[in-house]
Amino acid sequence: MHMANQIAPATFAATPRLRSPIDLRIKGEDLFVSGRFHRWQATVALGSDLDQLVAQIAIDATSPDSLTDGKDEQNLFAFSSHEVTAQGEGTYRAKGRLTTSAGDFPLTLDIQIPDGHTAFFMIAAKLDRETVGDGWSELVTGSGAGGIDAERLLDPRTGVRDLPVAAA
pTM, to two decimals: 0.75
Sequential DSSP letters for 4-63: ----PPP-------PPPPEEEEEE-SS-EEEEEE--EEEEEEE-SSTTEEEEEEEEETTS
pLDDT tens-digit readout, 98-156: 999 999 999 999 999 988 888 899 999 999 999 998 888 888 876 554 556 555 555 54
Rounded CA gap, 35 and 115, in Å? 22
